[in-house]
Structure 1
Amino acid sequence: MKLTDRITELSHLDRSLQAVQARVPMDLQIKGMHLYQRLKRRLTGRAAEPRFIEYPLPAADAVPIEALDPTSPFLYRQGLWQSYFKRLRDEAPVHWNGHTPFGGVWSITRYDDIMTVDRDHERFSAEPFIVMGEPPEGLDLAMFIAMDPPRHDRQRMAVQGVVSPRNLQEMESLIRSRTREVLDSLPLGTPFNWVERVSIELTARMLATLLDFPYEQRHRLVKWSDTAANLASATGGTVTADEAFSAMAEMAAAFTRLWHDKARRIAAGEPPGFDLISLLLTSPDTRDMIERPLEFLGNLALLIVGGNDTTRNSMSGGVYAHHLYPSEFAKLKANPELIPNMVAEIIRWQTPLAHMRRVATRDTRLGGQFIRRGDKLIMWYASGNRDERKFENADAFIIDRPNARQHMSFGFGVHRCMGNRLAELQLRILWEEILPRFDTIEVLEKPQIVQSNFVRGYSRLMVRLTPARRQTS
C-alpha cells in the first residue's frame, strides 16, 4: 500500500472514530475504557499504577548530589523540601536524576532558569502533560494548558472571557456576600477545620458560579478536582486508576447534561452567559468539543483544578503563614492597606502548585547542561519562589515584601495562569472580611499536608477564632 493511501485510510478511520464518539454517551465510553483496561491488566498481570508508601526521606546533605530526588510525594509533608531545593539551587540548579519513580527528569530550581524554560515554548513543549508522571492509560485527557500554540491559544481564547476585568468586577459583590456568609457561620472559641469550613467551601461556591453548575451539588466539583490532581501515577497522590475512571465517568455524565441543556437554551434564543460552558459552546474553536470526549473532559478538569487548588490552598496557607509569623498579622491589622501585597506574598510563600513539566523539542543547553530532545524538565515553582537570588530572606513570610508580585506561582509566557486575577480577588476579599471579624486565628496543631509532588496543599488545619473586640460589646 502506498504511503498516501495509508494516510488516507488512517484519516477515514479517525473520522469514523470521532463519529462513534459523538454518538456514544461520554460516561459509557469511559466505563467501557475502564473495563478494557482492567481486563488488559488482568491478562498481562501488570499493576494499574505505582503505589507510594511513606518512609523517612534522607536529609538533603545525606546523599550525593547526583542522587538527590525532589520528586517524592512526601517531601512537603516531611518538611524537607526547602533544604532539598536549596542544595539543588546552590550545587546543581539544572539537575538530572535518571532513576526517579517518574523516570528521568531534569529539575530546574533557580528562578531565572525556570523563567527561561517557561517562556520558550518552541524549545520546551507543554505537550502532552504538565504534571511529572502520566495518568492511567485511557485517561490521558487533552487540555489546553498541555498544548502548544496555536492550538493552545485558540482554546484559551474561548474561555478567558470568564475572567475578563468586566466579569470580575461584576462577580466581586457575589464573592464578597458568599465570603461573609461563610465567615459569619463559623463557630467562635471552638476548634474547627479551616480547610473544610472555609477554604473548600469558598472555592466550591466559586467553581459552581464559574461553571453555572447546580449550586447544591457544588462539592462534587471539589471531589472531581481532587481526583484529577492527585493521581498516583501522575503526581504521587493517593487516587487509584479505578477511582479516577469512576470519578471521570460521573463528571462526564454531569457535564454532558449541562452542555446539552445550555445548548438547547441558547438554540431557543436565550442569551449565552459568561460561564465557562456557555463560552465553550459559543466559540467557533470549541463549540464541537463535546464530540471529542478526552478534550472536553480534560479542559473541564483543567478549569476545575485551576479554580480549586491555587485559591483553596492559598486560603489555608495564608492562615498558617500568619501563625508562623505572628508579627506579620499584627502588621496587617495595623495597616489593612497591605492586603493586596500580602495576597501576592501568600501565593509566593505557599506556591500552591509546586511544579510544571516541559519536554525538550530539540537538543539544547540550559545552565551549562546538555539536554537531549525528548528529555523531561520539571520547573520547580516552589523552589524558584524561594530563590535567594531573587527574594531576600526568601523563606520568610513578609507581607510588605517589595517584589512579592514577581512570584512565579502563576507561571510565565503563553501558559501563564488564566485565572490569576480571580484568585487574587478571592483572597483579597477573604482577608478584607477576616480583619473586622476576628482578633486572632489560632492554629491549634501542625497542619496535615496532602500526599503529592504537584499540589502543595492542606487536608486539615485546626483553628480557633477569637472575635474582634468591637463585636463583644
Structure 2
Amino acid sequence: MSVLDKAIDKAQASIPLHMQIRGAQLYSKAKRAAFKSAQPPVFIEAPIPDAADVALSDIDMSNPFMYRQGQWQSYFKRLRDEAPVHFQPRSAFGPFWSITRHEDILAVDKNHHLFSAEPYIVIGAPPEGLDVEMFIAMDPPKHDLQRQAVQGVVAPKNLKEMEQLIRVRVQEVLDDLPVDEPFDWVDKVSKELTSRMLATLLDFPYDQRRKLAEMSDLAAGSSGATGGTSDVDEMFAAAIEMSRDFATLWHDKAARTAAGEEPGFDLISLLQSHESTKDLINRPMEFIGNLTLLIIGGNDTTRNSMTGGVLALNKFPDEFAKLRANPGLIPNMVSEIIRWQTPLAYMCRVAKEDTVLNGQFIRKGDRLVMWYSSGNRDERHFERPDELIIDRANARSHVAFGFGVHRCMGNRLAEMQLRILWEELLVRFSDIEVLSEPEIVQSNFVRGYSTMMVQLTKKQSA
C-alpha cells in the first residue's frame, strides 16, 4: 500500500462517515454546476413502438419505461429469437451486450473467472461520491470473505428459528387489513412486511422500519444507474442519514459487546465478529455499500414478489382456483411467482478477456447485461413462459436469484416469507381482487410496483 493510500485510509477512519458523504455531496454539486457532462441523464417517457417496427440494431432494453409500458416481453422474445447475444452501442448508459437466453445467462453467471462483477452490477454508474463498494460487485476472494461474514444469518438453523417470528408478523399485518373496501396492497402489505423483516435482520429501531424501504427505493432509483427517478441530492441526503443511523448502531453494539454483552445474531453483529469485516466502519464506502446491498436485497425481491404474486393470480384466475383447492402447492407456487415476476431484471458483468459467446465475439472490457427477466421467459426452457402455472415442474430452475458465487444469499429467506404470507392469506380470505392495473416504477433494474389497489373478501367459516 502506498503512502497516499495509507493517508487516505487513516483519514477515512478518523472523519465521521456522514461528514465524508457530505463532503462528497458538496463536490458533486459543484461539479454538476460547473460541467454539463456531470449532470445525470433525464429520461422523458415516450410511447415505445412495437418490437416488430424497430430495426434489430436499434433495440435498447435499457429504456427505463419498457416494463411500465408492457413492451418488454415482445422485445425480449425478438432478441431471444434473432439476436440472443445483442450489442447496443448507443444507449444512455453506454454500450453493452444483452444476454437474453436462459442457457447463455447461466454460462455467464457461473463463470466468474471470465466475467467480472466489478465495478457495478447495474447498467449505469452511480452518482460520483456514492459509488460505494458492495460484495455483490466484488470478485473472489474478497467477495467470498465479505459474503461469508453475513451469510450465517440465513443459515438453515436460523431460518427455522425465524419462521415463527415471521409468521406472527404476517398475522399481525393481515389481521389489521380492511375487508370489503379498497386499499393499497403495496403500502399496507408488501412494504410493511419487508420493512419489519429488514428491521429484525439489522436490529434497526422497529418504529423507524419504514426508513429502510425508503433507503432501498432511493439507492436503486438513480437515473444514471438504472433510469430511475431518484434525485442526486436526495440520494446524498438519504446516504448521510443512513450513515448516521448505522454508524450509531455499529458503535452502540460494539460498546455493548466490549462491556460483556453476548453479540446478537443480526447482520451488524455478524459483520463485527468476522475477521474480514470487523473494521468495516473504518472503510466507509464498503460499510455503506454492503448495508445498502443487504437492504436492497432484503427489500426488492420479497416486496415486489408479494405484489406480483397477487397480480399474477388475478391475471390467471384458474391458477388461483387451483391454489384454493390445493394449498399444498404454495411452495412450488412461490418459485413460480418469483420466476414470473423476476423482481430484479438483470445483473451486469464485464469480460476479463476476449471470448466468444453464442457465436458473438466479446472483447475484453465489454459490458454484458444478463437479462434475468428474459431468461425466465425463455420458451426454450419454460413451456408457456408468459403464463403463471403454479404447479410448473421446473419452476425452481428460474434465474431470478442468479447462479454461481453471486447467487442471492437470502433466497431461502425470501421464499419462506412468501410461503408464510400465502399460507396465512388462504386461511383468512377467499378472494384478493386487484381493482385496477398497478403503477409500475420507472426503472430498467427493479421490476417493481408503487401502488396496487385491491379488495379482500373474508373467508366464511365452514
Q: Shift of the alpha carbon at 1:37? A: 1.4
Q: Shift of the alpha carbon at 1:299? A: 0.2
Question: Any idea what the Cα deviations from partners look like across 1:354-375, whole Å, max 9, x if unmatched?
Answer: 0000000001100100000100
Percent identity of equivalent pairs: 64
Aligned partner of 2:24 among 30, 33, 45? 33
RMSD: 0.8
Alignment match, 1:394:
385
In the alignment, structure 1 segments of 5+ residues that lack a partner are: 1-7
* Rounded Cα–Cα distance in structure 2 between residues aligned with 1:319 and 1:327: 13
Q: Shift of the alpha carbon at 1:48? A: 2.5
Q: Shift of the alpha carbon at 1:47? A: 4.4
Task: Answer yes or no: is the 8 Å Cα contact 1:48–1:241 preserved in 2.
Answer: no
* Rounded Cα–Cα distance in structure 2 between residues aligned with 1:146 and 1:325: 37
Q: Secondary structure at the match of 1:463?
A: strand
Q: Shift of the alpha carbon at 1:396? A: 0.5
Q: Shift of the alpha carbon at 1:440? A: 0.5
Alignment match, 2:438:
447
Tell me, yes or no, if structure 1 residue 418 matches structure 2 residue 373.
no
Task: Answer yes or no: is the 8 Å Cα contact 1:48–1:136 preserved in 2.
Answer: no
Q: Secondary structure at the match of 1:436?
A: helix
Question: Any idea what the Cα deviations from partners look like across 1:159-216, whole Å, max 9, x if unmatched?
Answer: 0001011111111000000000000000000100000000000000000000000000
Alignment match, 1:315:
306
* Rounded Cα–Cα distance in structure 2 between residues aligned with 1:304 and 1:44: 33
In the alignment, structure 2 segments of 5+ residues that lack a partner are: none
Alignment match, 1:436:
427
* Rounded Cα–Cα distance in structure 2 between residues aligned with 1:377 and 1:60: 21
* Rounded Cα–Cα distance in structure 1 between residues aligned with 2:357 and 2:410: 30
Compute the TM-score of the two structures, normalised by the length of structure 1.
0.97
Aligned partner of 1:222 among 188, 210, 213? 213
* Rounded Cα–Cα distance in structure 1 between residues aligned with 2:277 and 2:156: 22
Tell me, yes or no, if structure 1 residue 141 matches structure 2 residue 132.
yes
- Mapping of 1:355-394 within 5 angstroms? 355-394=346-385
Alignment match, 2:176:
185
Q: Shift of the alpha carbon at 1:323? A: 0.4
Alignment match, 2:453:
462
- Mapping of 1:105-144 within 5 angstroms? 105-144=96-135
Task: Answer yes or no: is the 8 Å Cα contact 2:438–2:451 preserved in 1.
Answer: yes
Q: Secondary structure at the match of 2:285?
A: helix
Task: Answer yes or no: is the 8 Å Cα contact 1:134–1:234 preserved in 2.
Answer: yes
Counterpart residue type for residue 62 of structure 2: T
Moved beyond 2 Å, runs of 4+: 43-48
Task: Answer yes or no: is the 8 Å Cα contact 2:31–2:38 preserved in 1.
Answer: no
Compute the TM-score of the two structures, normalised by the length of structure 2.
0.99
Q: Secondary structure at the match of 1:52?
A: coil
Q: Shift of the alpha carbon at 1:423? A: 0.1
Aligned partner of 2:292 among 294, 301, 325? 301
Alignment match, 2:65:
74
Deviates more, 1:90-99 or 1:15-24: 15-24
Task: Answer yes or no: is the 8 Å Cα contact 2:154–2:412 preserved in 1.
Answer: yes
Q: Secondary structure at the match of 2:186?
A: helix
Counterpart residue type for residue 140 of structure 1: D
Tell me, yes or no, if structure 1 residue 292 matches structure 2 residue 283.
yes
Counterpart residue type for residue 362 of structure 1: E
* Rounded Cα–Cα distance in structure 2 between residues aligned with 1:15 and 1:118: 35
* Rounded Cα–Cα distance in structure 2 between residues aligned with 1:69 and 1:147: 27
* Rounded Cα–Cα distance in structure 1 between residues aligned with 2:382 and 2:27: 50
Q: Shift of the alpha carbon at 1:434? A: 0.3
Alignment match, 2:341:
350
Alignment match, 2:399:
408
Task: Answer yes or no: is the 8 Å Cα contact 1:438–1:467 preserved in 2.
Answer: yes
* Rounded Cα–Cα distance in structure 2 between residues aligned with 1:157 and 1:16: 29
Alignment match, 1:231:
222
Alignment match, 1:204:
195
Q: Secondary structure at the match of 2:356?
A: strand
